[in-house]
Amino acid sequence: MQASDRFNINSQLEHLQAKYVGTGHADLNRFEWAVNIQRDSFASYIGHYPLLAYFAVAENESIGRERYNFMQKMLVPCGLPPEREED
């Protein structure tokens, strides 16, 4: 692997990280990563009707209620963020 290949791969990775929030970056902590994963999952559940219908049947709720519940869970999917230590 040449130096130009490494530079190209790194620049592509930086471009993806800037374009898509869920791909993460070097300064992403565990909590932020978990929030991204949860929100992506809930968005996928809402966007795929058969999966939403499956959850509705499994929880004995209407599809609209399940969609509403998933959207409410997207607001704070992993609870409140942990306290940050001041340096």
48: nearest Cα among 60, 63, 33, 35: 63
Q: What is the pLDDT of residues 12-23, one digit of tens each?
A: 878 877 787 667
CA torsion through residues 50, 56, 60, 61, sign: negative
Give the tokens for residue 59: 């929880």
Instruction: Evaluate if pTM is beyond 0.75.
Output: no
- Highest average pLDDT, of 10-14, 38-42, 63-67, comes from 63-67
Q: H or E segment at 45?
A: helix 30-47
pLDDT classification of 67: cutoffs 50, 70, 90: very high
Cα dist from 17 to 3, 21, 75, whole Å: 21, 6, 22
